[in-house]
């Protein structure tokens, strides 16, 4: 159902509402042990998903390519990091019963989870899924077929979540990259997207002619629409990648600072123990015979 550009989608609205209610209930049960900013991040991620799936971004995105790519950017680069920063698995561990915690632990340590979250696989999946939906006829097919459109939205969100898991490493995972590899992981994808963005920006033919037939009167010409769409993905995507790299760098600095404090504390304890040992030996040797 469509109400003035808003879509009462039978998939996304119930799913987002259920996820929000479950998270809020768990957060209240955690009684302050889960930071408030993580709650805000998770809810903002859900709102981002809804913005791309039930607002006019969704309906206009089937007629105007740059609007379509804006929703694409939200589903792959905005919503997934926000949802992951909410640390839903960590929250579940904090509030779940022991039996449920054992099941959760077994699930994320399973071979299936290890395969799906392997960083090389997540990187390749993100690249393949995004290019298939961006630069093939699947985009035109999704714009006219509701089932294909739903498949597009679901796969984009899942690919985004899997891609950002190794980079952010918020929740427990079978793979935990050290900070230098996290930065390299994001940097390689940023460089990769920038090179391909520049290549497609230089094209003089429209890749998705089907959008021209459905475009509203105010929409730009097909080739201009395509260039605006790619510029949105290129520039806004690179800005988000740079923000992610900055966050990883800050996390790296904080990790090294915490590690150095632990080393200093351990050395201080060792020096104190050595002083006590020497004092005890001095008392023994200075004791009168």
Grouping H, G, I as helix, E, B as strand and the rest as coil, residue 145 is coil
Distance from C-alpha of 122 to C-alpha of 174, rounded to nearest angstrom = 13
Question: 187: part of which helix (H) or strand (E)?
Answer: helix 179-201
Percent of the chain with pLDDT over 90: 49
Residues 6+ apart with CB under 8 A from 92: 26, 100, 104
**Do the Cβ atoms of 184 and 204 come closer than 8 Å?**
no
Sequential DSSP letters for 53-119: HTSHHHHHHTT-HHHHHHHHHIIIIIHHHHHHHT-HHHHHHHHS-HHHHHHHHHHHTSHHHHHHT-H
Beta bridge partners of 6: 3
User: What are residue 2's DSSP bridge partners?
Assistant: 7
Q: How far is CA 161 from CA 32, 77, 85, 248, 262, in A?
A: 26, 9, 11, 17, 33
Neighbours of 202 (CB within 10 A): 9
Is the confidence at residue 72, as pLDDT, over 90?
yes
pLDDT in tens, 233-248: 888 988 999 999 999 9
- Rounded Cα distance, 155 and 232, in Å: 20
Does the structure show a pLDDT above 50 at 193? yes
Torsion 94-100-102-107 (CA) sign: negative
Measured CA to CA, the distance from residue 135 to residue 193 in angstroms comes to: 13
pLDDT in tens, 6-39: 777 778 999 999 999 999 999 999 988 899 999 9
């Amino acid at each position: 159902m469509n109400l003035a550009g808003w879509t009462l989608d039978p998939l996304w609205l119930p799913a987002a509402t259920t996820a929000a209610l479950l998270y809020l209930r768990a957060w209240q049960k955690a009684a302050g042990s889960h930071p408030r900013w993580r709650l805000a991040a998770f809810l903002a991620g859900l709102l981002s998903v809804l913005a791309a799936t039930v607002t006019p971004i969704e309906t206009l995105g089937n007629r105007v390519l740059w609007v379509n790519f804006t929703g694409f950017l939200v589903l792959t680069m905005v919503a997934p990091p926000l949802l992951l920063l909410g640390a839903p698995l960590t929250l579940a561990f904090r509030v779940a019963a022991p039996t449920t915690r054992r099941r959760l632990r077994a699930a994320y340590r399973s071979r299936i989870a290890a395969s799906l979250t392997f960083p090389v696989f997540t990187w390749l999946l993100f690249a393949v899924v995004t290019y298939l939906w961006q630069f093939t006829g699947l985009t035109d097919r999704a714009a006219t077929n509701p089932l294909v459109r739903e498949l597009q939205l679901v796969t984009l969100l899942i690919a985004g979540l899997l891609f950002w898991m190794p980079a952010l490493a918020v929740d427990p995972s079978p793979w935990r990259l050290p900070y230098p590899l996290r930065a390299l992981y994001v940097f390689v994808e940023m460089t990769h997207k920038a090179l391909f963005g520049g290549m497609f920006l230089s094209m003089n033919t429209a890749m998705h002619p089907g959008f021209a037939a459905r475009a509203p009167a105010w929409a730009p010409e097909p080739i201009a629409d395509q260039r605006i769409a790619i510029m949105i993905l290129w520039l806004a995507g690179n800005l988000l990648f740079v923000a992610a790299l900055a966050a990883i760098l800050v996390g790296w600095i904080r990790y090294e600072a915490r590690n150095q404090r632990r080393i200093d504390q351990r050395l201080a304890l060792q020096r104190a123990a050595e002083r006590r040992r020497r004092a005890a030996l001095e008392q023994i040797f200075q004791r009168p015979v």
